[in-house]
Structure 1
Amino acid sequence: MRPEEHPTSPSLPWRTSSSFTMAMVGLLSRGFLHGLSRTEVNGLDGFLQLLDQRKNVEGRERGLITDNLRWELGSYDLCFTNKVLSTFFSLGQVLPTHRSMHSQFGGLFQPTMTQAIRLLSKRPFIHSNDPPETPNPSIASPDFSDPFTSGHLTFSTNGSDTFPAPSAYLNRRHSWVHIFPEGKVHQKEDRTMRYFKWGVSRLILESNPCPDIVPIWIEGPDEIMHEAREWPRFIPRPLKRVSITFGEKLDVEKAFGDLRERWKRLHDRESSSVPGGKLDVGVLTDGLKYAEEAVDLRKECTMRVREAVLKVRRQRGLPDEDPKVGLMETYRCEGTGKREGEMDDGSWQIYPGDVVRLDQVMMPSSTAFPRA
């Protein structure tokens, strides 16, 4: 394969613009949290040590998942509605994610999920735009030109748009992907969590090797931007208490090794039925998508991730949840409050777009700000 097909990184203008965007957003956020809020951070030293170990790209052995930043998944219909927003969020390393309530292209198996899995994995992936078909430029595409983003270095989320494919670059192997497993705003006084979406299980079961996982618990953003706030809604509320607690890095072999082994056996059986006898990372057959064994593996994996976050929640002195709040079935009939998003029990459930159908569970959206 020709060297130019394996670029180390995007172009210098793209890297410079992306670094500026990330730094600007980071400084503004840090300024608000530490200058206009009462912020406490717990367990940060261990997390910073982990990040220090990952500075050398060549020395990385695993990807990293934080569930509470590096690459994030953002709602397509909110973050990528025009060229300005699309460019901003692309430079900010946000991957376009369709929400099933707003798009026929949403769901657990959309192309952005493939990109996230490959970012966490070892090698670069050149065939980034399959599936779906080879992309064509559209109004939803980033307006910031990159000489590498042609053909094999792009991917499409719907067959007509075009986005740079981050997993195609050498320096992005074993990347850091940051997710919100609840996938929506969930604001309730007792600080319980919703059920977690199955997208996190795809990242754990299909990435190669299994990424490091750090659970994080956050309290306070709901007070800064509560969904019941009145005018001016667009202004964050200052002087609120914010607490961020980093859990310990999970022993992924102990936590998920048995599930990954079962997935590997299933994957090998399915691969033997396709031409060439091999499936690329993040590519699934119908059996790997919908077979009962595959579904059961995703359920179990997701529940184990949720338990890891609950452990950090307990460290904050909060009581154990009612087990029912972690089940999808609990939320089948939600949404009868007097205002949009207000529930009968006084909690707030804001849909930046999830649906309950098990075959269309979406990845978390970076526009959501759940409590954990």
Structure 2
Amino acid sequence: MRPEEHPISPSLPWRTSSAFTMAMIGLLSRGFLHGLSRTEVNGLDGFLKLLDQRKDVEGRERGLITVSNHVSVLDDPMVWGALPFRYLRSPDNLRWGLGSYDLCFTNKALSTFFSLGQVLPTHRSKHSQFGGLFQPTIAQAIRILSKGPFIHSNDPPETPNPSLASPDISDPFASGHLTFSTNGTDTFPAPSAYLNRRHGWVHIFPEGKVHQKEDRTMRYFKWGVSRLILESNPCPDIVPMWIEGPDEVMHEAREWPRFIPRPLKRISITFGERLDVEKAFGDLRERWKRLHERESSNAPGGKLDVGVLTDGLKYAEEAVDLRKECTMRVREAVLKVRRQRGLSDEDPKVGLAETYRSEGTGKEGKMDDGSWVTDT
């Protein structure tokens, strides 16, 4: 498919179904937050102003990343119930999330529902050989944040399969849905292939796991968020957030019926100020740009597509150091919002991966430090 032939957006039935799904889930979340909970929302006016500036897709100049702590299995979508309903009816101006492949995409019905709900299928290393920092879904997220569309069919492999892209397939409603593959055999809608998805909004929980602890400390942040910041073009806007209370709604120690959210809990959702990304990450992006240019010169044609990395850009010491530093800066931005909520400073060691290695890679439930952890 040539660029001039490629559609601006998915089929009308798909867009309609997606808008309905997003609105209904948003309405249910809003009803629970404001009807069945004692909810406090801080910093919302500034965030809504940012969303208003992003209404015109063609006028967007950069993507948006929101990043927060992760305290319950209901954090997403529940926290987006904080948005007024008029914002919940416009999928083009709503978040894309990362959902566990082995939980959210196990059959056609679930895959369709979560795809309509703007969730990207993400493999967890614990459950899949296709997981990790360099899986195709991360490339999709980077492309959503960048200026698309991206309709490449010849990307270098991020999996044993020779391509990130699959042939076009029919969506449940009409033909012409562009797709990508996460493992070489499956097919999922490729949002970055459409003009109306460029410079989109991606929300990420960098802890990668639900973490519930009385002192409200966070686990270390994984490096996926650094890829979104370093590789998207241009650097997206970044809004840190802080969430409290959903851990009481769905605490990991809850008994039967576990699937029912507990009402009448106190919930707090705080939107931080939009970061000055040039000040916060400009030096790191400049270093990444120089490294990327050196590595690209050795690639076929002297160029790498957005989201595609050479082994040097994946594993070289300089690339690893950049991801580490970028991730720690993101974590500090979230901690700043945490401090605004009146919480005391963390012990610095809780932000290090080494602190949690004693848990083992597969351990869930109650930890030795009294926290509760769930892989999501």
Which interval holds the TM-score relative to the shorter structure? 0.7 to 0.9
Whole-Å separation in 2 of the counterparts to 1:273 and 1:115: 23
Q: How far is 1:344 from its partner?
A: 1.5
Go from structure 1 to structure 2 and tell me whether the alpha carbon gap of 1:129 and 1:79 turns closer, same or farther (over 3 Å shift).
farther
Go from structure 1 to structure 2 and tell me whether the alpha carbon gap of 1:337 and 1:293 turns closer, same or farther (over 3 Å shift).
closer
State, as a whole percentage, how many aligned pairs show the same letter. Answer: 92
Whole-Å separation in 1 of the counterparts to 2:112 and 2:41: 32
Q: Tell me, what secondary structure is at the counterpart of 1:283?
A: coil
Q: Tell me, what secondary structure is at the counterpart of 1:62?
A: coil
Aligned to 1:221: 246
Go from structure 1 to structure 2 and tell me whether the alpha carbon gap of 1:328 and 1:5 turns closer, same or farther (over 3 Å shift).
farther
Name the Cα RMSD after superposition: 3.5
Whole-Å separation in 2 of the counterparts to 1:152 and 1:133: 22
Q: How far is 1:22 from its partner?
A: 0.5
Aligned to 1:38: 38
Q: Does the Cα contact within 8 Å between 2:168 and 2:177 map onto a contact in 1?
A: no
* TM-score, length-scaled by structure 1: 0.87
Go from structure 1 to structure 2 and tell me whether the alpha carbon gap of 1:148 and 1:270 turns closer, same or farther (over 3 Å shift).
farther
Q: Does the Cα contact within 8 Å between 1:149 and 1:164 map onto a contact in 2?
A: no
Whole-Å separation in 2 of the counterparts to 1:87 and 1:119: 19
Go from structure 1 to structure 2 and tell me whether the alpha carbon gap of 1:135 and 1:288 turns closer, same or farther (over 3 Å shift).
closer
Q: How far is 1:335 from its partner?
A: 6.5
Q: What CA deviation, in whole Å up to 9, does each residue of 1:335-361 have, x standing for no partner?
A: 6999x511112111xxxxxxxxxxxxx
Whole-Å separation in 1 of the counterparts to 2:95 and 2:109: 21
Q: What CA deviation, in whole Å up to 9, does each residue of 1:44-80 have, x standing for no partner?
A: 0000000000000111010000099510000000000
Whole-Å separation in 1 of the counterparts to 2:163 and 2:231: 31
Q: Tell me, what secondary structure is at the counterpart of 2:93?
A: coil
Q: Does the Cα contact within 8 Å between 1:68 and 1:216 map onto a contact in 2?
A: no
Go from structure 1 to structure 2 and tell me whether the alpha carbon gap of 1:143 and 1:49 turns closer, same or farther (over 3 Å shift).
same
Q: Does the Cα contact within 8 Å between 2:51 and 2:93 map onto a contact in 1?
A: no
Q: How far is 1:82 from its partner?
A: 0.6
Q: Tell me, what secondary structure is at the counterpart of 1:8?
A: coil
Q: How far is 1:143 from its partner?
A: 14
Q: Does the Cα contact within 8 Å between 1:117 and 1:206 map onto a contact in 2?
A: yes
Q: How far is 1:130 from its partner?
A: 3.5
Go from structure 1 to structure 2 and tell me whether the alpha carbon gap of 1:21 and 1:81 turns closer, same or farther (over 3 Å shift).
same
Q: Does the Cα contact within 8 Å between 2:155 and 2:164 map onto a contact in 1?
A: no
Aligned to 2:280: 255
Whole-Å separation in 2 of the counterparts to 1:2 and 1:115: 19
2:350 to 320, 325, 333: 325
Whole-Å separation in 2 of the counterparts to 1:343 and 1:140: 40
Q: How far is 1:181 from its partner?
A: 1.2
Q: Which runs of 5+ in 2 are unaligned?
A: 67-91
Q: What CA deviation, in whole Å up to 9, does each residue of 1:108-143 have, x standing for no partner?
A: 000000000000001210116735499999999999
Aligned to 1:345: 369
Q: Does the Cα contact within 8 Å between 1:137 and 1:160 map onto a contact in 2?
A: no
Q: Does the Cα contact within 8 Å between 1:132 and 1:157 map onto a contact in 2?
A: no
1:99 equivalent to 2:124? Answer yes
2:177 to 139, 152, 157: 152
Q: Tell me, what secondary structure is at the counterpart of 1:256?
A: helix
Q: Does the Cα contact within 8 Å between 2:156 and 2:162 map onto a contact in 1?
A: no
Whole-Å separation in 2 of the counterparts to 1:39 and 1:141: 44
Whole-Å separation in 2 of the counterparts to 1:140 and 1:126: 8
Aligned to 1:175: 200
Q: Does the Cα contact within 8 Å between 1:212 and 1:249 map onto a contact in 2?
A: yes
Q: Does the Cα contact within 8 Å between 1:39 and 1:241 map onto a contact in 2?
A: yes
Q: Does the Cα contact within 8 Å between 2:161 and 2:183 map onto a contact in 1?
A: no
Q: How far is 1:293 from its partner?
A: 0.1
Q: How far is 1:254 from its partner?
A: 0.3
Q: Which runs of 5+ in 1 are unaligned?
A: 349-371
Whole-Å separation in 2 of the counterparts to 1:150 and 1:131: 27
Q: Does the Cα contact within 8 Å between 2:124 and 2:131 map onto a contact in 1?
A: yes
Q: How far is 1:5 from its partner?
A: 3.5
Whole-Å separation in 2 of the counterparts to 1:88 and 1:99: 20
Whole-Å separation in 2 of the counterparts to 1:76 and 1:322: 33
Go from structure 1 to structure 2 and tell me whether the alpha carbon gap of 1:190 and 1:327 turns closer, same or farther (over 3 Å shift).
same
Go from structure 1 to structure 2 and tell me whether the alpha carbon gap of 1:196 and 1:134 turns closer, same or farther (over 3 Å shift).
closer
Q: Does the Cα contact within 8 Å between 2:143 and 2:306 map onto a contact in 1?
A: yes
Whole-Å separation in 2 of the counterparts to 1:196 and 1:254: 21
Q: Tell me, what secondary structure is at the counterpart of 1:215?
A: strand
Aligned to 1:55: 55
* TM-score, length-scaled by structure 2: 0.86
Go from structure 1 to structure 2 and tell me whether the alpha carbon gap of 1:244 and 1:63 turns closer, same or farther (over 3 Å shift).
same
Q: How far is 1:334 from its partner?
A: 1.6
Go from structure 1 to structure 2 and tell me whether the alpha carbon gap of 1:147 and 1:269 turns closer, same or farther (over 3 Å shift).
farther
